Amino acid sequence: ATPMSIMVGIGKAAESGILIRNGEALQTASRITTMLLDKTGTITKGTPTVTDVILFNEHKEDDIMPLIASLESGSEHPLAEAILSYAADKQYKTSQVSDFDAITGRGVRGELNGERLLFGNQALMNQFDIDVSRGAEQAQTMANEAKTPMYFARGDMLSAIVAVSDPIKSDSVDAIERLKKKGVHLVMLTGDNETTAKAVAKRVGIDNFIAQVMPQDKVNEVIKHQQNGEVVGMTGDGINDAPALAQADVGFAIGTGTDVAIESADITLMRGSLHGLVDALAISQATIRNIK
Ligand code: ADP
Ligand code: MG
């Protein structure tokens, strides 16, 4: 690879909002065989909003949502933001929760008025022996619609299910089709549940996905593919993605994502669109072709 052609490639990329850290990243990108893609904030907009509130035990939303919002006040998760902005719209008042704990990959717990509150996924409910069977069917239906259902338990009882929807970026489907035409093997990674992950993957045309990935396990997915002899790209936006971005042969950060992701990546996609990813691969391949 001549230094001149690499400089030209990096300059051309920069003009399209693709920031390439060095010549090695540009060259390796042309050889990527497998691309791992984070779901939330990478394929989807990463701004979930509340779509459904289902109540049990004859509770009223006005009684339950303030409790959930109080619990989520301690969390910085995008799902917490969805709950809090919904609660703010409805002008629900929040109270101070004690013994707050965020349980990675599962949800949140805390105490209010001597009562234990839990809000999160099925794994969280299993952990605390909460029976969710009477809500399971509705949760499944919502997950099939690509929504993320979360369970709320007050004491030992399931009290509500709240679902959020995180819209797919308008150009993700087209960009993913372009990626597939390049012959790159695609795998979507998400901490979200199996059913929701499957529904999103199907909507965007990705055949392979891994759901319920714990944040610390994304890097292991990269290593696993590398051990199979693949040249692995990873694209993500979150703090959770940073170790995997650093481990990948080429890490691509979404420019609208967190600073930690950008610092860990080799290439930053300033436009925040997956088209930037395909363009980066195309520029990289064109550069290598010119060299040969
Ligand atoms: P992701 O970044 O894909 O959402 P996480 O590992 O952060 O992955 O979360 C996995 C799952 O755990 C979420 O889909 C949600 O069901 C549950 N969860 C995590 N944090 C929270 C929270 N603050 N409130 C409710 N549920 C949560
Ligand atoms: Mg993300």
Q: What is the CATH number of the domain that holds 278?
A: 3.40.50.1000
Among all residues, which ones are annotated catalytic? Answer: 38
* 141/197 same-domain check: no
Q: Which atom of ligand 1 is nearest to the CA of 38?
A: 3
**19 and 63 housed in the same domain:** no
**Residue nearest atom 3 in ligand 1 by C-alpha distance:** 191
Residue 252: pLDDT band with limits 50, 70, 90:
very high
Residues 90, 105: one domain?
A: yes
For residue 71, give Cα distances in angstroms to 15, 83, 159, 204, 220: 45, 10, 14, 33, 31
The domain spanning residue 120 has which CATH number? 3.40.1110.10
Residues 148 and 175 in one domain: no
Q: Is the pLDDT of residue 148 over 80?
A: yes
Which of 165, 189, 217 terminates a domain? The answer is 165
Mean pLDDT, rounded, for 64-80: 95
Shared domain for 152 and 180, answered yes or no, is no
Q: What is the mean pLDDT of residues 115-136?
A: 97
* Cβ(74) – ligand 1 distance below 6 Å: no
Please indicate, yes or no, whether residues 104 and 180 belong to a single structural domain of this protein.
Answer: no
What is the per-residue pLDDT across 167-180, written as a single tens digit (0 to 9) for each? 999 999 999 999 99
SS3 content of the chain, % helix, strand, coil (to 5): 45, 25, 30
Confidence label for 292 from pLDDT (cuts 50, 70 and 90): low
Average pLDDT on 203-230 reads 96
Which of 127, 145, 165 is the C-terminal boundary of a domain? Answer: 165
Over residues 56-61, the mean pLDDT reads 87
- How far apart are the C-alpha atoms of 61 and 59, rounded to whole Å? 7
What total of structural domains would you count in the chain? 2
For residues 140-168, average pLDDT: 97
Nearest CA, atom 22, ligand 1: 107
Which residues span the domain enclosing 172? 3-45+168-291
**Structure confidence at residue 238 (pLDDT):** 92
Which ipTM did the prediction report?
0.96
pLDDT of 89 reads: 97
Q: What is the pLDDT of residue 2?
A: 87
User: Is the CB of 44 within 6 Å of ligand 1?
Assistant: no
Q: Which residue's CA is minimally distant from atom 19 of ligand 1?
A: 107
Output the CA 240–ligand 2 centroid distance in Å.
7
CB-ligand 1 contact for 268 (6 Å cutoff): no
Q: What is the pTM of this model?
A: 0.94
Residue 4 C-alpha to ligand 1 middle, in angstroms?
Answer: 46
- Judge if 264 and 183 occupy the same domain: yes
Mean pLDDT of the chain: 96
**Does 238 share its domain with 192?**
yes
- Domain final position from 165, 183, 213: 165
Same domain, 174 and 41: yes
Mark whether 99 and 200 lie in a shared domain. no
Same domain? 35 vs 67:
no
Whole-angstrom distance between the N-terminal and C-terminal Cα of the chain?
8
pLDDT band, very low/low/confident/very high, at 59 (cuts 50, 70, 90): confident
- What's the pLDDT score for residue 141? 98
Residue showing tokens 């759901």: 211
Ion ligand 2 nearby residues (CB, 5 A): 38, 40-41, 237-238
Ligand 2 centre to CA of 266 (Å) is 17
The CB of 48 under 6 Å from ligand 1? The reply is: no
Would the CB of 106 count as within 6 Å of ligand 1?
yes
Residues 237 and 280 in one domain: yes
